[in-house]
Amino acid sequence: MTVGDSELIVRANSPAAGAAMPMVPASDLRPIVEALARLGYDTPPLLAVIGVDEATLADVEGRVRCDAYGALVAAAMRQRPLTVLALRIAAEIPLGAYPLLDYVVLSSTTVRDGLEALVRYHRLTSSPVVVELRAAERPPRLLLHAGADAAFGVEFIAGLATKHLRAETEGRLRLLGASFAHALDDAAQAERILGCSVTQNASWSGLAFAADDLLLPLRRRDPILRELLERQADELSATMPELGAVAMEVRHGLQRRLAAGLDVRMAVVARELATSARTLQRRLAATGLSYATLLDEVRREMAERHLRDPRLAAAQVGYLLGFSEPAAFHRAFRRWTGTTPQAFRRGAGVRPTRTETGA
């Protein structure tokens, strides 16, 4: 992540004129500050930049502005630039830094149970990233959905989940790969930290696992402790708005409607979710997402999947995704991937259809 990326986070989280800046627990920020210190950063000047003192970080009731994260990272990059800083920070954060979430996940029986707990309780953090597990896919994937300005959060969660799950399976967990929808500033370093191949500018962000590894036991598995922690997490979760859930509902609604060739305008999808377009827009904005971003992500994922099907011509794929003409689909696909649908198919080893060859 670059300084420019960090400054984008600050701008994205800045409130509109006259709006109150949302506050988040200082305890969520403290592990990042401590990790920066372990990486050799001089943290007191960084805290001064964001107007936060050590006492606030140590206070269990302490609160900081939500833009403190982006400002802290931007200040760190100005002090000493490091590539893939989010992954480096994650590698320095010990188990228990986020006590309730860490232990409810790692007291689970298997890797799959732990990932399901992560999906369920990740919203206890102040992260704008929405976590989804697709365990039935081959390979199984942990998807990390976020707006374009939340690249730091995506890399951070990928790094932290990889570190802790690998440690709790005593090194037996295999990652088939990590995927990021954004460009990394040092893919080789990311591969060294994550211990797997990394794909950039992909149609999705997250981690791919070997199917059998989801059944690996976690060394801290403790059904009684987990039940107690889940009860506490459920009570806390009940007091928080369902910000991540609405993004997942929109994504699933878009996938269904695009697959059926139905209208995907926001007003229509909002009505299907029993809400108004304005309310839906506001709830998505609270997570750092927008309806247009989600629609773009879903279309890109479905486009890449359809283009791997040799039975479908590129023009047909565009039509299936709601584009009125092939040129519009080509422009969108080039914006998403930097290449054309035909070039993507060649790279994926898909033979062109008769329509595309002129046969």
pLDDT digits (tens, 9 = 90+) for 185-237: 999 999 999 999 999 989 899 999 999 999 999 999 999 999 999 999 988 87
Measured CA distances, 271 to 70, 253, 277 (Å): 35, 11, 8
Region 167-175: mean pLDDT is 96
pLDDT class for 75, splitting at 50, 70, 90?
very high
User: Which three-class secondary structure state does DSSP give residue 31?
Assistant: helix
For residue 15, pLDDT beyond 50: no
The whole-angstrom separation of Cα 303 and Cα 344 is: 10
Q: Token digits for 164? A: 């802790």
Architecture in CATH for domain 243-357: Orthogonal Bundle (1.10)
Domain extents in the chain: 1-82, 89-239, 243-357
C-beta pairs of 37-46 under 8 Å, 24+ apart in sequence = 38/92, 39/82, 39/88, 39/89, 39/92, 40/80, 41/76, 41/79, 41/80, 42/79, 45/75, 45/79, 46/72, 46/75, 46/76, 46/79
Question: What is the spatial distance between Cα 239 and Cα 206, in angstroms, rounded to a whole number?
Answer: 28
Q: Which two tokens stand for residue 270?
A: 């909002």
Place of tokens 């990042």: 32
- Predicted pLDDT at 11: 35
Distance separating alpha carbons of residues 119 and 244, to the nearest angstrom: 10
Which helix (H) or strand (E) is 130 found in, with range?
strand 130-134
Decide: helix, strand or coil at residue 227. Answer: helix
Peptide linkage before 94 cis (omega within 30 of 0): no
Helix (H) / strand (E) containing 173: none
pLDDT value of position 329: 93
Q: Which two tokens stand for residue 115?
A: 């990932």
Q: CA 235 to CA 96: how far, in whole Å?
A: 20
For residues 201 and 219, give the distance between their C-alpha atoms in angstroms, rounded to a whole number.
35
Residue 144 to residue 130: CA distance in whole angstroms: 6
At 135, the pLDDT band (50, 70, 90 cuts) reads very high
By the 8 A CB rule, do 297 and 251 touch?
yes
Q: How far apart are CA 49 and CA 33, in angstroms?
A: 13
Confidence band for 251, pLDDT divided at 50, 70 and 90: confident
Q: What is the pLDDT of residues 286-336, one digit of tens each?
A: 777 789 988 998 898 889 888 988 888 888 999 889 888 899 999 999 998
Residue 1 has a pLDDT of: 41
Could you tell me the CA-to-CA distances from 94 to 87, 115, 223 in Å, in that order?
A: 13, 18, 23
**94 has pLDDT over 80:** yes
Torsions phi, psi for 274 (to 5 deg): 60, 40
Ramachandran bin of 110, using left for φ above 0, alpha for ψ from -120 to 50, beta for the remaining angles: beta
Residue 7 has pLDDT above 60, yes or no: no
- Higher pLDDT pick, 12 / 159: 159
